[in-house]
Every structure is written in structure tokens, then in C-alpha cells.
Amino acid sequence: MAGFPPAQEKAQAAAVPPLGVYVHVPFCATTCDFCAFYQTVPKGDAVRRYVDAVETEAALVPWDSRRASTAFWGGGTPGLLKAAEIERLGRIMLLYAGQPDEWSVELAPATVTPERLAMLKQLGVTRVSLGVQSFDAGLLDALGRQHTPAQVYRAYDLIRGAGFASVNLDLMFALPGQEEVQWRADLTEAMRLAPDHLSTYCLTFEEDTALWVKLSQGKVKLDPDKEAAFYARTWEFLEAAGYAQYEVSNFARPGHACRHNLNTWHMHEWVGLGPSGASQHAGWRAANPPDLTQWHADLDAGRRATADRVRLTDDLLAADAVIFGLRMNEGVSLPRLRRRFPAAGWSGLEDILPKFLLGGLLVASTEGRISLTPRGRLLADAVGADILEAFESAAKVTVK
């Protein structure tokens, strides 16, 4: 904090885009059926070794004396760390990245204790994200989640009591066997708790998960129609309840949107620490190997962010800024992006925009801001694939 007087911060913000820092805590008590995140059950001194290694990694990052304006601890289950471990990890991050304005930590209900919350608060964490998923005991069980509705309420009360600036609840819908009435009950219950922010995720079938196996065995079925209906109902419901949607799966009361995530969707910069942590920073996009042992080995060799390395180019960033930007309700300002990424194949995008506008998937403002309509938002991936192709074909033409 000390090294960053406000004046300097302002000057910096104007010169360079905001920087975020993400810390992946790769430990969970058990594995949920739907989970595709990298996590393992901690054994022996794994946590201590992990925290040590984060320190090693942070020292390898070319911070360039920039301060991270946002931080996000995800997992895995950051809350699995003991208060003392949380403190060490926090101090390490603060030492290298500075005190962020917004600092979110994901917590699983079963891990919420007054000690941990006090420590987080003391470190300067501003935002807690609670992985509720559902208030329905049966559905929680079917997901292989390790908590009960009672634990959720207890955790929520403790978090509120600790006085964090912003509290988010994660919910999931279109679960096997879940009907619309049940989902509505979950949403109603969430509203009763009055969080500042809500993330609602459609259950996704990711490869290499227990759920995927069930799908391939025909034990559960994909039903895009049902999913589409759940999405639409969710959006209507939350809007009426005063939660503005600002991204496909995210809703917030005014002033509570998650800045860290907005930063990534705007294609700014972020540094990812911990196994599977992804970075977009210092001219590169890259990730750490999603494997604790490999990550340690990389660090022992003085390396980090060794997987999926690609150079950041105007073409890459422009396409992604549009594709991921369109997932946000505000959409993207094309003139602004063109100024940021002048070398990209914008002509390709121009060619395909009319069909989306005419087809009712996109709307455009007179200042050149485009955003998806609700139907367009439901088809964001299909639109995204077309946009990607448009940028790439325009890039090819200019190369030829």
C-alpha cells in the first residue's frame, strides 16, 4: 500500500491497462461430479510446499513495478487453507502485486469459519464468493457437493457478519432432475439472502469429469431446449429482482460487478499464479501446467507459464476482445477496440456483422457499440465461432 500513492496510481492507470492477479489454490476435500478445475486432495505438507512455490513463482513474474488493481483467489477451495496459511499466501501476494482495490476469494460453505474470515478481512479481502450451487439438499447430493443447506446459511451469516464490501453467491441450474419450479425456489431463496452479486451457471458437461462419464453412459442427458428455457427464466427473474445482468452468467446490484472478471473480458492483463493459473501479461498469453508436480518442477527449473504460450497480437486480442466482450451486456465499442488493436483484420468482422444485426442477434448503437440481444447471448458461442473465423480469414487475405 505504502509504495503506491494515489497520484501515481492515476497516472499509471492512464498509461497502462489494469492488471489483475489470480491465485489458483488447487486443493479440494473431494471432487465434485461436474468439476473440470484443476484440484487435488492435499496430502502431507502439500499446502506448505504450494505456498512456498507461489512465492517462488511471484518472484519470477516481471511485475515491472505495476500494482494489480484486482485480485482473485479461486480453486479448488481456497478456504481449505488454514488461517495461518491464508495469511502467508496473502502476504506473498501483497508483497509482489500490491494492495488491490478489489480482492475476491472463493469459499466453499463448509470451509467458512470465523478465524478464516477474520484473516481474510485483516488482509484486505473485499469480496467473498460463496459456492452455494443449490439450496436443495437432494440436488446438492446428486452433484457430489460436500455441504448442506444449513451450512450455507451459517456461512452466509458469518460472512455478512465479517463485513465484506461485496458478497457473491454461485448457483447452478439445469441440474439432472431439476425442474423449473425447483430452480425458481433456489433463486427466491438466494434473493432472500440479498447478496450483492449472483453468478448463475448452467451445468456444463466438461470432458474428464464424472458427469461426462455419466453422459457418455446415457445416465444423464443433454437437453439444450431445457437449458435455454432455464437461462431465459433466470434472466427475467433476476432483472425483476433488481439484479442487473452484466454478463451471460453474472448479475449484480449497482456498483458490485466483479472488476477482476470485467478486466479479463476487456482483454486487459492478468497474472495467474499456481497450477493451471493463466496469464495474459507482458506480451504473452500462457498458463501454468494444470498439475501440481509439473508446476513445482517448472518452478524448480526457474520457469513459469510454460503451457499454451502464444504471443499477444492485435489479431488475437481484437478477436477475443470482441468475442468475450460480447458476452457482457454492455457489448463492445468497435471504434475503441479499433484504436487499441489497429493491425487486426477488422474488415472480416464488418462483413459478417450485417447478418447478425438483421438476424436479431446483435444491436448496434450510433457510436459503434455492438451488443448481443438476449437471443444472441444464448448463442454467444456460435456467434463467437463466426467472429473468430471472420478475423482469421481477413488476416489470411492481408497476408496473401
Partner 1 sequence: MPAKLTRNFCIIAHVDHGKTTLSDRLLEYTSTITKREMTDQHLDAMDLEKERGITIKMHPVVMNYPAKDGKTYKLHLTDTPGHVDFAYEVSRSLAACEGALLLIDAAQGVEAQTVANAHLAEQQGLKIIPVINKIDLPSANLELCMRQLEDILTIPAEEAILASGKSGIGIQDILEAVVTRIPAPRWTDYPTLRALVFDSKYDAYRGVVSYARVFSGTIRAGEMMALMSTGQRSEVKEVGVFRPGMEKVASLGPGDVGYVISSIKSTEDIKIGDTITHANKPAADMLPGYKEVRPMVYCGLYPLESDDYEKLKVALGKLRLNDSALVYSSESSVALGFGFRCGFLGLLHMEVVQERIRREYDVEIISTYPSVVYKVKKHNGDVIEVDNPINLPDPGSIEDISEPTIKAAVHIPNEFLGDMMNLIMEKRGSVDHTDTLDGARVMLTCTLPLNEILVDFNDRLKSITRGYGSMDYELGEYRVSDLVRMDILVNQDPVDAFASIVHRTKAEGQGRALCEKLADIIPPQMFKIAVQAAIGGKIIARDNVREMRKDVTSKCYGGDISRKRKLLDKQKEGKKKMKLIGKVSIPPDAFIQVLKTNS
Interface with ligand SF4 (CB under 6 A): 28, 31-32, 35, 37, 39, 75-77, 108
Least separation, in Å, of the C-beta of 104 and ligand SF4? Answer: 15
Dist CA 279 CA 359 (whole Å): 36
**31 vs 329, beta carbon nearer ligand SF4:** 31
**290 vs 376, beta carbon nearer ligand SF4:** 290
Dist CA 44 CA 63 (whole Å): 32
Name the binder of 361 from partner 1, ligand SF4, none, CB < 5-8 A by kind.
Answer: partner 1
Helix, strand and coil percent figures for the chain, each rounded to 5: 45, 20, 35
Name the binder of 76 from ligand SF4, partner 1, none, CB < 5-8 A by kind.
Answer: ligand SF4
Residues that bind partner 1 (CB under 8 A): 20, 22, 24, 72, 74, 201-204, 224-225, 227-228, 231, 248-249, 260-261, 264-265, 270, 272, 276-278, 280, 285, 287, 308, 310, 320, 323-324, 327, 355, 359, 361, 377-386, 388-389
Dist CA 47 CA 180 (whole Å): 41
- What are the residue ranges of helices labelled H in the chain? 6-15, 46-60, 83-97, 114-123, 137-142, 149-162, 180-193, 210-216, 224-240, 259-265, 292-300, 314-325, 334-340, 346-358, 374-378, 380-399
Dist CA 256 CA 249 (whole Å): 14
Least separation, in Å, of the C-beta of 384 and partner 1? Answer: 5
Name the binder of 249 from partner 1, ligand SF4, none, CB < 5-8 A by kind.
Answer: partner 1
What phi, psi does 114 have (nearest 5°)? Answer: -55, -35
Least separation, in Å, of the C-beta of 252 and ligand SF4? Answer: 21
Name the binder of 378 from partner 1, ligand SF4, none, CB < 5-8 A by kind.
Answer: partner 1
Nearest residue by C-beta to ligand SF4? 35
Name the binder of 385 from partner 1, ligand SF4, none, CB < 5-8 A by kind.
Answer: partner 1
**83 vs 228, beta carbon nearer partner 1:** 228
Give 192: exposed, middle or buried? Use CB within 10 Å, 0-12, 13-18, 19+.
Answer: exposed
Task: Please give the DSSP secondary-structure letter assigned to residue 241.
Answer: T
The residues, any chain, with a CB within 8 Å of residue 375's CB and separated by 6 or more, are 360, 361
**41 vs 150, beta carbon nearer ligand SF4:** 41
Dist CA 5 CA 368 (whole Å): 36
Name the binder of 39 from ligand SF4, partner 1, none, CB < 5-8 A by kind.
Answer: ligand SF4
Name the binder of 236 from ligand SF4, partner 1, none, CB < 5-8 A by kind.
Answer: none
Residue 234, SS3 per DSSP:
helix
Least separation, in Å, of the C-beta of 63 and ligand SF4? Answer: 28
